[in-house]
Each structure stands twice: as C-alpha cells, then as structure tokens.
Amino acid sequence: MIPGRIVRSTAFRLAFLYMALFGTSVLVLLGFIYHSTAGFMDRQTDETINAEVRGLTEQYSQQGLSGLVRAIESRVARDKNGGGLYLLTDWKFSPLAGNLREWPDFDATQDGWVDTGLREADGERVFARLKYFLLPGNHHLLVGRDVAERNTVEDLIMDALVWGLVITVAMGGLGAVLMTRGMLGRLDVINRASREIMRGDLTRRIPAKGTGDEFDQLTGNLNDMLDRISGLMDGVRHVSDNIAHDLRGPLNRIRTRLELALPENGADSANRKVLERTIADIDEVLGAFHAILTISQAEAGSRREEFAVLDLARLAEDVAELYEPLAEDKGLRLCVNLSPGVAVSGNRHLLSQALANLVDNAIKYTPSGGEVGVELTSGPDGPELAVRDSGPGVPPEHRQAVLERFHRLESSRNAPGSGLGLSLVAAVAKLHGATLVLADAQPGLRVSLAFPPVEQAAPIV
C-alpha cells in the first residue's frame, strides 16, 4: 500500500506522468512490432498459397485432370508437416484428391480468399487460410495453409506486448515511488528544520547532503537567506533592546529624584499630585521597556536554558491568588478550575508573567459584576491553560492583530497599558511550543495556551 503523502506529492505525479508517456511509447512500439510481424506472416502465407495455385493450374492446363490429381497427391505426400491443405472436387463437390475430407461450408470473398475452421482427412481439426479457384470443366480447387503456427506466434507476440506493458507500468510505478521517497526525504529535512526555526530556534540551519545537486543549491540559498534575516532581526532587536536598556537607567534616576521630592510637598499640595502622576507615568514606561526586553529574550530563545518540568496547576494557582484581591475590589468573580498535577516543560518566570498578563487584561476589561475564569485541563494532546472573561471581547478580525506589539483596539485607547501584554503572551507561547488561540467566550474573550505533552523524566518543581 503506497502512503497517501507519496501519492499526493508533486514528485509522484511527475514520475507517474513520465511513466504514462513511457508506457504509451512502449505500447506503440510493441503494437508496431505486432502489426509488422503479423502482416509479414499473413503476406508470406498468401504468397505461398498463390504460388501453389499457379503451379496446380499450370499442371491442369498442361496435363489435364489426371495430371492435377497426381500433382496434388504428390504434394500431400511430400508435405510431412501437414501445413499445406488441398482439395479437388467435381461439379458436385465430391472429393477427387487432397487431404481434406469434404468441401467446407464457407462464403468466399470476391477474390476467393477465406479463413475458416475445417477437418482434414485424418479427422484433425485445423484453422486455415484458403483460396478457392474454379477450374475449366466445372472442377473446384481449394488450396490453403494451416495457420495454427502463425496464430501461435501472433499470440506469443500479443502476450509479450501485454507483459511488456505490465512490466513497464510496474517498474515505472516502483521507480516513481522510490524517486518520490528520495525527494520527500530531502524535503522532510528542509521541512523539519523550517518548523524548528518557526518555533523560535533561529540558529537552526538546513543540513546539506554535499552532492552539489539542486537540493543542495536550494539548501545553501535558504541558509544564506536565514543568515541575512537573522542578522537583520538581531540588528533591529539590539537597537530596541539598547534603547530600552539605556533609557531605563535615566528613568530610574528621575523616578528616584521625584520620590525624594515627595516629602518636601504636603499631602494636599498641587505639586505633590503632579509628582505622583509623573512617577506613575514613569512606572508605566519602565514596565513597557521591561516587557520589550522580555519579549526580545523570548523570541530569541535565550531563556530556553532555564526550562524545567513545572507544576502548571501550582503556578496558575499562585497567579490567581495574586490577582484575587484586585478582582474583588472591582466587584468581579474569579473562578479557578485547575486539574492537579499537570506538568509542562518551561520557564517559570515567563509562564507566570504570561498568565499574569492574561488575568490582568481579563480583570481590566471586564465590567463590574462580571466573571473571570482560570482553567487548566489535561488531555491526550497535552495540557491546556485558559483565561476567560465576560467583557466586550475582541472581534474576530482583530484577534491576530492584537498579538502584535503596541497594537490596541480603538475601544481601549483610553485604558492604561502599552499594548504589549498579548505580544508577550504570544512570544512566550512560541518559545514553549504552545498554541495560542483567541476565541469567543459568549460573552467575552477566551484565551487558551495548548502545550505539548511532556515526559516527566525530570522531577516536577
């Protein structure tokens, strides 16, 4: 049974097309050979019969009926193989000479040729090619050849044609499968490396086989392209990281000086309120810079070495406890439903921050009296961590856009935040090989992280 992925591949279809063209060529060639061989044998048989007829009619014209009878009996006696067929009859079709028992029942063509089955004088049934000739004196002459040997040769040629076509198709199909397997093997290497690169391993490159063929050239071009893209991304990331890193220092110093200036202003002083709002704005900017650096680290995979097998239920419980007072202050119900003992391989700090961002967003955009839920389930495909709310939700056409940096919906422009929360969640999900899905909670938004299953070879921490 040929695997479906081989049959659906372009390589197999091209190989099958070549096999069909080659099979058609073989069929035409063998058909030409059959036609030429069978035609040659038919012509040879007819020429032999015509020569026999000419010779016998000459005997009849020269020596009369008795000479013709002697000539026929002489030829029958000399024909050891029994290939020649002769029958001379009178006007009543009563046999006078020959090796046929009786005049066969047939309808001759206009030129006297006929193909029929008949019985020889010894009782053997044969299939013959005959020619009928009417002699002067109303005598009937029938001369022919046993074509059983010719039919046998034609059958052999036909069998060879059929088997040749079958073997051609079988070998072509086998060649198509083997060629497709080889090409798919090379493509699988490229696809596996591409998937690892898409999962965040930007240092991964496609291995070349070293044959210098088209696949090696394609591999080299793809690796060069990946090096170029990686260099450009590193440049952009380093610029944004350097800006965020270099500005944090001055902002922290400004914040410290503002805090030192707070005691000098009374509690009801207008200057104190300005200072407090300024400190809050600086904290928001510092939070944005911290989020940018964290996203960059997650996208670069630099935090992968800190992975460990974690108890995802305990981590989610800690985050839920942290945000429970905030939900109560806003008049929200925080519902927590966690399956115990669910393990996942990941970075504790990044996963906690991603879950905190989801819970914080859910609380921020859910009106008072609503509900926020944190759910953790485990199935055969791996654990799924989800946060749902009963807020306004996100329209389907914007769900992919809100995962980009600094993207905010028009309805949330006036709400606090920098538009980096879901971007950080997306980066953490990609780093952990998790599938991030934004769906309708009817009402509200449900954000889920589906993690790959983990083999607990290491202890859960």
- CATH number of the domain residue 390 falls in: 3.30.565.10
Assigned domain for 227 exists = yes
Residues facing residue 119 across a β-bridge: 125
Q: How far apart are CA 60 and CA 137, in angstroms?
A: 11
Domains: count for the chain: 3
On whether the CB atoms of residues 181 and 6 are closer than 8 A, the answer is: yes
Cα 218 to chain centroid distance, Å, stands at: 20
Preceding peptide of 250 cis, ω within 30°:
no
Q: Are residues 428 and 326 in the same domain?
A: yes
Report the DSSP pairing between strands 371-379 and 333-338.
Answer: parallel
Residue 188's alpha-carbon distances to 2, 3, 225, 433, in angstroms, are 18, 15, 19, 20
Using a cut of 0.85, tell me whether the model's pTM lies above it: no
User: What is the domain-level CATH number for residue 144?
Assistant: 3.30.450.20
* pLDDT confidence of residue 372: 92
Which residue type is seen at 153?
Answer: V
Of 97, 122, 152, which residue constitutes the final position of a domain? 152
Assigned domain for 180 exists = no
* pLDDT confidence of residue 266: 63
Q: Are residues 282 and 331 in the same domain?
A: no
Q: Closest by alpha carbon to 419, among 406, 410, 401, 438?
A: 406
Assigned domain for 174 exists = no
Assigned domain for 4 exists = no
Q: Which domain holds residue 50?
A: 10-152
Q: Are residues 308 and 434 in the same domain?
A: yes
Residues facing residue 346 across a β-bridge: 308
* pLDDT confidence of residue 457: 46
On whether the CB atoms of residues 388 and 373 are closer than 8 A, the answer is: yes
Assigned domain for 158 exists = no
Q: Are residues 312 and 294 in the same domain?
A: no
Q: Are residues 318 and 295 in the same domain?
A: no
User: What is the domain-level CATH number for residue 203?
Assistant: 1.10.287
Q: How far apart are CA 188 and CA 371, in angstroms?
A: 47
* pLDDT confidence of residue 209: 77
* pLDDT confidence of residue 387: 92
* pLDDT confidence of residue 38: 74
| Residues counted in the chain | 461
The CA-CA-CA angle for residues 10, 13, 16, to 5°, reads: 150
3-state helix, strand, coil in the chain (%, to 5): 55, 20, 25
End-to-end CA distance of the chain: 47
Q: Are residues 27 and 134 in the same domain?
A: yes
Assigned domain for 331 exists = yes
Tens of each residue's pLDDT in the chain, 461 residues: 455 555 666 666 677 777 777 778 777 887 787 777 777 878 888 888 888 888 888 888 888 888 888 888 888 888 766 678 888 888 888 888 888 778 877 776 667 788 777 765 555 667 788 888 888 888 888 888 877 777 777 778 788 778 877 887 787 777 777 777 777 777 778 888 888 777 666 677 888 877 777 778 888 888 888 888 777 766 666 666 666 666 767 777 877 877 777 777 666 667 777 777 888 777 767 766 666 666 666 666 555 667 788 888 899 999 999 999 998 989 999 999 988 888 888 888 888 888 998 998 889 888 888 999 999 988 778 899 999 998 888 888 877 777 776 666 655 545 555 667 788 888 888 888 888 888 888 888 899 999 888 765 445 65
Q: Are residues 256 and 136 in the same domain?
A: no
